[in-house]
Amino acid sequence: MQARTYRKEVSDSTRFVSTRAIFRKEESGAGELGFIDAVFQGLAPDGGLYYPTTYVDLSDLFISYDKDSTFIDVSSSMTRALFPSEFNESEARGLCERAFHFTTELHTLNEELTLLELFHGPSCAFKDFGASYLASVMEKRVHKEGKCITILTATSGDTGSAVAQAFYEKQGIEVIILYPSGRVSPLQERQLTCLGKNIHAFEVNGSFDDCQWLVKNAFQNDELKQKYGLSSANSINIGRLVPQSFYYVHAWNQLRHRNEGNWIFCVPSGNFGNLTAGLLAKQWGLPITHVLAASNANDVVPLYLKSGMYMPKKSIPTLANAMDVGSPSNFERLETMFALEAVKQGADYNANDFGNFIHQETLKSMHGMSISDMEIKEEIAHIYKTHHEYICPHTAVGTLVSRKILAEAWAKRHGYNKAVVLSTAHPAKFHEVIEDISGTQVSIPERLARFFDMNPQATFVEATQDAFYDALEKVLG
C-alpha cells in the first residue's frame, strides 16, 4: 500500500496554539506547542482550546488509500503525516494498533441512509476512539520519561466509562473518576466502579457541577499537581479530537471505492467535538463540502446557523442525554476555524462586522437542525418498524435530521441524495428508552453485560475540597 511510504519533512509537524491567541499576532509562537505537549497541557493556560496553527495538506495521502486500507492503516498514516517529529512510522503504527483493538462499521439502512457505527469499542460509544488514542499517547510519554501520572476527570456518565476502559491497566498511570452519587445510570456506575486496579471511582455526594468544581480546584493547586503529576483526559483535549477525524477519512475512502452517490455526513452533536473533527479532516484535504449538525432540543448551534447569533443557554434534559449541552465547548474551535477562513477570503479581523464573515464561512461548511424528544421517539419507532433495527436516541436525532434535510431544497440545490449518519452509541446502552418504544427486549452485548457479575468499588466523598484531598491521599498515598 502506497500510504505507508508517504513522507513529510520533520519540520512540518503540526503545532497547536490557544484559540484565544491565534489572532493575537504579537503573541504568536509564544504559546505554541507540539502535539504531545498540548495533550498533557489539556486546556491552554489562557482558558482557550488548542487548535492547529497550520493545516498540512493530506489530500495526496487520502487518495493513495486503496479499497482494502484498514482503519489502522488510515489512522497510523495520518498520525505519522500530522506529527512526523513526534512519531516515526513504526511508532505511529504501534500507537494506533495499541489504541484501536476495535474498528468502525458502515451499515446500509436503505437507499437514503447509511450508519457509520462507532460503538464497537469497549464502552459501546464513539468516545472510545478518542479516549483510547489519548491513553496510548500518554502512556508513550510516561514510559519514555519513567514518571508516574494521575488522570483526574469528572463525569456525568458516558465520558468516564470510555476513559476508565481506555486507561485500564496502563502502566504508570492512575485514574481518578468523580461521578455524582445517584445521578448516573446503574450500568454507567458499574462501568466506572467495577474495573479496579488503576481505576479509582469517587462517588461524590453532590451534582456533576460539584464534581467538576473539585477537579478544577485541584488543577489550580500547583503543589497537588506536582505531587501526583495531575493530568486531564477531558473531552476538550486535542488528543481526543484528532483521532476522531480518522473515521471520517476511513469511511469516505470505503464509500469512494463503492462509488456511492452524492452523500453527506450527519453528526449527532452535543459539545461538537465529533463534528469539529470532521471539519478538521476537511481542512486537511478530505474532499467533502458540508457536514450536517444534528441537535436535540438543545439548539444553540442550529439557531446560530439560522440567525448568525450565538446564544449559549442552560441545557435541557432530553432522551439523547449525552447531547444535552447548552454551551458547546467546541464552538470556540469552530469559530476559530471559520474566522481563519474568513481572513483567507480577505475579511478584516478588526472590522466591526467580522462576525458576519465568520457566519458566512460557517454556512459554506455546515447546515443543521434541532429535533424534539417526541420526534426522537417517533424516529426510533419508525426505524424499528421499517427495518427491524434498534438505534440509540442520539443516532435517531441523526437519522431524522438527515431525512428532513434530504427532503429540503437546500439538499437538492447541493445535489445531496444520501446521508452517512454517525451512529454514536450502541442501542443497548439506552435499552430502557428503546424497550419502552418498541415493546421488545434489547439484548445487551457481553462487553457491557459482564459488569453485572463484577464487584463495584467506590470511595464515597463529600463535595468539599478537604474531603477530596484526604481521599486522594488515601488512594494515591
**Cβ distance to ligand PLP smaller for residue 58 or 425:** 425
Say whether 230 sits in a helix, a strand or coil. strand
Q: CB under 6 A: which stretch of 33-41, 60-68, 90-98, 264-272 binds ligand PLP?
A: 264-272
* Binding characters for ligand PLP, 153-192, by CB under 6 A (x = yes): -----x----------------------------------
- Contact between 448 and ligand PLP by CB under 6 A: the answer reads no
Whether 27 and 17 have beta carbons less than 8 Å apart is answered as: no
Beta-bridge partners for 150: 174, 230
CB of 15 to ligand PLP, least distance (A): 23
- Tell me which of 17, 21, 178, 425 binds ligand PLP, using CB under 6 A: 425
**Cβ distance to ligand PLP smaller for residue 331 or 468:** 331
Which of 70, 119, 103 has its CA nearest to residue 421?
119
Whether 422 and 309 have beta carbons less than 8 Å apart is answered as: no
**Cβ distance to ligand PLP smaller for residue 69 or 318:** 318
CB of 160 to ligand PLP, least distance (A): 11
- Contact between 272 and ligand PLP by CB under 6 A: the answer reads yes
**Cβ distance to ligand PLP smaller for residue 136 or 155:** 155
Residue 12 grid cell: 512540518
| Distance in angstroms (rounded) separating the CA atoms of residues 33 and 45 | 12
Q: CB under 6 A: which stretch of 20-28, 194-202, 255-263, 266-274 binds ligand PLP?
A: 266-274
| Distance in angstroms (rounded) separating the CA atoms of residues 321 and 389 | 21
Which of 94, 86, 98, 95 has its CA nearest to residue 8?
86
Long-range contacts of the stretch 355-363 (C-beta < 8 A, 24+): 355/308, 356/308, 359/304, 359/308, 362/304, 362/305, 362/334, 362/338, 363/305
Residue 31 grid cell: 504559546
- Tell me which of 52, 84, 243, 268 binds ligand PLP, using CB under 6 A: 268
Per CB under 6 A, which of residues 139..158 are in contact with ligand PLP? Answer: 158
**Cβ distance to ligand PLP smaller for residue 48 or 368:** 368
| Distance in angstroms (rounded) separating the CA atoms of residues 338 and 351 | 15
Amino acid present at 188: Q
| Distance in angstroms (rounded) separating the CA atoms of residues 45 and 456 | 37
Residue matched to cell numbers 470556540: 332
- Tell me which of 269, 296, 315, 362 binds ligand PLP, using CB under 6 A: 269
- Tell me which of 270, 278, 302, 427 binds ligand PLP, using CB under 6 A: 270
| Distance in angstroms (rounded) separating the CA atoms of residues 361 and 333 | 14
- Tell me which of 165, 424, 438, 459 binds ligand PLP, using CB under 6 A: 424
| Distance in angstroms (rounded) separating the CA atoms of residues 137 and 119 | 21
- Tell me which of 15, 240, 282, 394 binds ligand PLP, using CB under 6 A: 394
Query: Exposed, middle or buried: residue 441 (CB in 10 Å: 0-12, 13-18, 19+)?
Result: exposed
Residue 234 grid cell: 477531558
CB of 6 to ligand PLP, least distance (A): 28
**Cβ distance to ligand PLP smaller for residue 123 or 438:** 123
- Contact between 245 and ligand PLP by CB under 6 A: the answer reads no
Residue 169 grid cell: 491497566
Per CB under 6 A, which of residues 100..129 are in contact with ligand PLP? Answer: 125, 127
Task: Please give the size of the binding site for ligand PLP, defined by CB under 6 A.
Answer: 15
The alpha helices in 30-126, defined as continuous H runs, are 35-41, 59-64, 71-82, 89-99
CB of 456 to ligand PLP, least distance (A): 22
| Distance in angstroms (rounded) separating the CA atoms of residues 168 and 192 | 11
Provide the CA 354 distance to its chain's centre, in angstroms. Answer: 29
Amino acid present at 315: S
- CA dihedral 449→450→454→459, nearest 10 degrees, is -70
- Tell me which of 121, 180, 273, 368 binds ligand PLP, using CB under 6 A: 273
CB of 317 to ligand PLP, least distance (A): 15
- Pairing between strand 15-18 and 33-34? antiparallel
**Cβ distance to ligand PLP smaller for residue 52 or 270:** 270
**Cβ distance to ligand PLP smaller for residue 114 or 198:** 114
Per CB under 6 A, which of residues 37..56 are in contact with ligand PLP? Answer: none
* Binding characters for ligand PLP, 287-326, by CB under 6 A (x = yes): -----------------------------------xx---
| Distance in angstroms (rounded) separating the CA atoms of residues 420 and 111 | 11
Contacts of 146 (CB under 8 A, 6+ apart): 172
- Tell me which of 75, 153, 254, 274 binds ligand PLP, using CB under 6 A: 274
CB of 447 to ligand PLP, least distance (A): 16
Q: CB under 6 A: which stretch of 62-70, 139-147, 262-270, 404-412 binds ligand PLP?
A: 262-270
* Residues that bind ligand PLP in the complex, under the rule CB under 6 A: 125, 127, 158, 268-274, 322-323, 394, 424-425
